[in-house]
Amino acid sequence: MFIFYKINYTFGKSIISSINISFDYMNGRILYVLLLFFACLKLLVSCSSSDAPVEPIVNEYVLDGEVFSITGEMSWVKAGGGQAEDQLRLLEPIPESDLYDLIIFSPKSSSSLLEGSYVYSQTGDVGTYNLQFVHAADGQGESQWYTNGDNGDRLEIEFFGEKDGRDVYRVTLSGFTLNYGYWDYLAGKWVSSGQKPFKYAYEGFIAL
């Protein structure tokens, strides 16, 4: 009787051990399959994001709700000759007039590269940009108004490869509040006339 009990106990223990081993093996396989699944999913999402075509943009700026097409080419003007900082400029003729808008970005890069993401500030610190807008200028020093900054979103400048042997850049500013006004020569000070919302999008060459 004792021998039969011992045999049954040993046999039962072996079965339980086998079951535990089977469960451990199954759990290990399931865990491996899950890890492999999530790794493949992450790789798939990463490839999909990187391979997705970049949406084209329309070259234009929006001033107080009015849309102006950008037909000219931006230029990069180095500091010097009374100009204290490097400037990224657009000189855009105003349709049906002899006047033009002059838009000046002054990004402060930490390197010789133009591309980067810049926050608005008039401090001139690395990683910041300033914005000046001269509206309806006649080329003789007169304009309808010009800005004294205020606040804005990040200025994004991205390198977009080459075309016809020249570098292509994308310059975007999703929103900016222009504090516009004029210089009062009698009072000797700048006078604000109010605020105008502004945003900017350009993709193309930058003349150096």
pTM, full prediction: 0.73
Residue 177 near residue 197 (C-beta atoms within 8 A): yes
Question: In this predicted structure, what is the pLDDT of residue 30?
Answer: 63
Residues 18 and 64 occupy one common structural domain:
no
Residues 45 and 69 occupy one common structural domain:
no
Task: Please state the rounded mean pLDDT for residues 63-89.
Answer: 89
List pLDDT tens digits, range 121-150. 988 899 999 999 999 999 888 999 999 877
Among 18, 33, 52, the domain-final residue is 52
Q: How many CA atoms lie within 13 A of 118 on its CB side?
A: 30
Residues 48 and 82 occupy one common structural domain:
no
Residues 75 and 173 occupy one common structural domain:
yes
Residues 17 and 42 occupy one common structural domain:
yes
Which residues are CB-contacts of 153 (< 8 A; sequence separation ≥ 6)?
120, 173, 174, 175, 176
**How many structural domains compose the chain?**
2
Task: Please state the rounded mean pLDDT for residues 44-50.
Answer: 45
Residues 137 and 203 occupy one common structural domain:
yes
What the block records as the tokens of 55 is 């949406």
Residues 167 and 67 occupy one common structural domain:
yes
Which domain range does residue 90 map to? Answer: 60-207
Task: Please state the rounded mean pLDDT for residues 170-180.
Answer: 96
Residues 98 and 177 occupy one common structural domain:
yes
List pLDDT tens digits, range 80-89. 777 778 899 9
